[in-house]
Structure 1
């Protein structure tokens, strides 16, 4: 585990995020770049649980990857976290990290301001690996996270590993995020943005 504290370490991560997300958009709009075409859904809060980390570690091992980044999108890593807390709101994790280290990184930084920890003060964030074949965008306001993949086989592997802990498709995610009554326009937008054939 490595907490990102320097501009030199942050800059390639910032460039990576630009390859993944269109930060001009927000949910329920399509926020990913066009390479991502296959989607699965979990709850936002799940991103901060041991269950999620253990599933993700198994996925990394199955794909031969050994690290990933978790980065704040909102608040801004540079203008909020770095400016006030001397870290960029980004943590690099390795497949050898434990769930205790994962939870500590999300709850204990910045050390002197636990209320600003990533688990408590991120409205949106993204997780991704160096290969950019997958990314997970989490949005606190809608309380969902969208797992995106460039390849259907990668999505199916993630789905197999994650099992029944996933939300049951885009319709269930839209209803979970925006309620099954009211907000029909938001539900319809999420559904149309993340449905695939």
Structure 2
């Protein structure tokens, strides 16, 4: 049984924010990581749905620009919460300059994945309005457009090789311990 790690009892007050492309497991890994770290978990997409209803319906009615503006507000609100949390962002959240500025003050983990993994996880893409009628090809294009932004925001990059949730959580906790020590030894 693993011993409690320094990152699990962090006192630095920063959120741990999971970013990455659609299908990378941000919600699933975020929930497991939060349990491990004894922190709340919040998912910006779930928060959006609770406030505004289903994302595809909102997208259809108001368009992507309105969706992104509301998403940016939700991200800012959740990051500003007084209790450090694990926050799973929607795949396009990093497109906002304001969100990227806020992320600079957090511990950011990029969950990467391969096209083959994305293909398995996306299904028909019907719950992801930005994917359109060819989900895989759209995902490949969107990921290519966003990959450098994800990497620029990330303090820790999770390899797609670590697919199992428990392995990802263990790897993130080890990386957080290293990052925490490095950040506070200067």
TM-score by length of structure 1 reads 0.30
TM-score by length of structure 2 reads 0.32
Higher helix share: 2
Higher strand share: 1
